[in-house]
Amino acid sequence: MLIKVINPNTTASMTEKIGDCARNVAAVGTTIHAVNPSMGPASIESHYDEALAVPGLLDEIAKGERDGVDGYVIACFGDPGLDAARELAHGPVVGIAEAAMRTASFLGRGFTVVTTLGRTRGRAWELAHRYGMDPFCRNVRACEIPVLELDVQGSPAQEKVVEECRLAVEEDGADVLVLGCAGMADLCGIVADQTGVPVVDGVAAATKTVESLVAMGLATSTRSEYGAPLPKQYGGLLSDFTV
Ligand code: 5HY
């Protein structure tokens, strides 16, 4: 089975970390191909970033379809371009926010999402609502750290994440913690040690979800809205996206 894990920002060091986390949980016989587009934002921390990350993401899906990829992970907590990607891919496409929230709902009465910048909280709440996770989502907290600071050696980012997670258990009564950024994928262990509750990383959750869907022979329904995009011309910079 070949699973393509797409980091929709252009930061290769983050893609490497994401790939390692996906491989850590992948079953024997599952090959993980972790990539990021060459075009788009270095990190995704706003609606503008998210919108401009989607063409690069869809280009990687199109390449994956030519390479016979069985399923896809969108490794950004905003699940950018998820619906469009499902129209393009023959196999299942899972975003890390959806996978993490659904996985957390198996593990306790309520979870808190801990994300990077406060301005991304609205998007996380929107996704919790869209996925029917409102009854489980206790809170969405922000550490006020830029995404790329998670990679900076010696930065206080890790302590800030652990501290916000500790407060989530204490103040929100969260039974489970959801790490709200693909760049936090390697912090699961330390956060679980420091808080004593289950910690869900979306990269791992989405990888196992795609793997199980493919193993069950399941893929996105093409009956209606997720049917293939209708053939038409795309102009200007997007002329290569003509289907
Ligand atoms: C992510 N941004 O997972 C999101 C996190 C966020 O570049 N990868 C990013 O803050 O929304």
pLDDT in tens, 168-200: 999 999 999 999 999 999 999 999 999 999 999
pLDDT score recorded for residue 154: 77
pLDDT score recorded for residue 80: 98
The verdict on the CB of residue 7 being under 6 Å from ligand 1 is: no
What 3-state DSSP class applies to 74? Answer: strand
pTM greater than 0.95 (yes/no): yes
pLDDT score recorded for residue 63: 97
Residue closest via CA to ligand 1's atom 2 equals 44
pLDDT score recorded for residue 153: 79
The verdict on the CB of residue 182 being under 6 Å from ligand 1 is: yes
The verdict on the CB of residue 76 being under 6 Å from ligand 1 is: yes
Residue closest via CA to ligand 1's atom 5 equals 181
Query: Which tens digit of pLDDT belongs to each residue from 36-66?
Result: 999 999 999 999 999 999 999 999 999 999 9
- Cα 18 to Cα 41, 58, 234: the distances in Å are 17, 19, 32
The verdict on the CB of residue 8 being under 6 Å from ligand 1 is: no
CA of 119 to the centre of ligand 1 (A): 11
- Can you tell me the distance from the alpha carbon of 231 to that of 243, in angstroms, rounded to the nearest whole number? 5
Identity at 189, one-letter amino acid code: G
User: CA angle, 54 as apex, 81 and 92 as ends, to 5°?
Assistant: 40
